[in-house]
Amino acid sequence: MNVAVLASGVGSNLQALLERVHGREGVSIVAVASDRVDAPALSRAREAGVACASFPVGRYRAREARDLAMAGWLVEREANLVVLAGYMALLSPSFLLRFPGRVINVHPALLPAFPGLGAVAQALAYGVKVFGVTVHFVDEGVDTGPVILQRAIELADAREPADVLARLQEIEHDLLPEAVTLIARGAVSLDPVNPRRVLIER
């Protein structure tokens, strides 16, 4: 399975994928793309010998044009799964149509609670005691696609987003590679009775 990774920032989840799944069980990371020309994730890709490119929206007439150009670049590299690993831009429907049911995202909350940006800050403001990470399929909504994997952690005394994010990042680095590995094995499917439910064969 050829995997493309989209990242906007440092790329710690990309690094976890490079270290834990790249070159194993038939998984190859073949491309890394970003909406930022200066994203450190691109440097990680170069160091690993993975093709990389940036697609800042200002270079195109509209966001959809950018997404189509990025999708075309990924198709040229024969990507058949797209992983959003800290990618901070919404993808247009035209991009998702190029990879139907083959785009996944990692989110620092237990969806459907606290979707969108600032999920941990939202959770802290709400006063929750249990935080978590979700890996889910991407649809046209904001963090509304079917849930693949989730893991929770109790942090009853948490006060600052940075403290929570540090703990959640450890979970992300486990959960995202696990999801990619399961998909590569063909162990992930949608329940024909309830397509919101993801079935996993262990």
Tens digits of per-residue pLDDT, 6-58?
999 999 999 999 999 999 989 999 999 999 999 999 999 999 999 999 999 99
What is the chain's mean pLDDT, rounded? 97
Tens digits of per-residue pLDDT, 133-159?
999 999 999 999 999 999 999 999 999
* Selected catalytic residue, list 22, 107, 136, 173: 107
In whole angstroms, how large is the CA radius of gyration of the chain? 16
Per-domain boundaries in the chain = 2-200
Architecture of domain 2-200: 3-Layer(aba) Sandwich (3.40)
Does the pLDDT of residue 109 top 90, yes or no?
yes
Two tokens, residue 176: 């995202």
Does the pLDDT of residue 202 top 90, yes or no?
no
Q: Which residue has the tokens 């996993």?
A: 200
Amino acid residing at 106: V
**Sequence-separated (6 or more) residues with CB below 8 Å from residue 99:** 71, 74, 79, 80, 81, 82
Q: Which residue has the tokens 């799944």?
A: 21
pTM over 0.85: yes
173 catalytic residue (yes or no): no
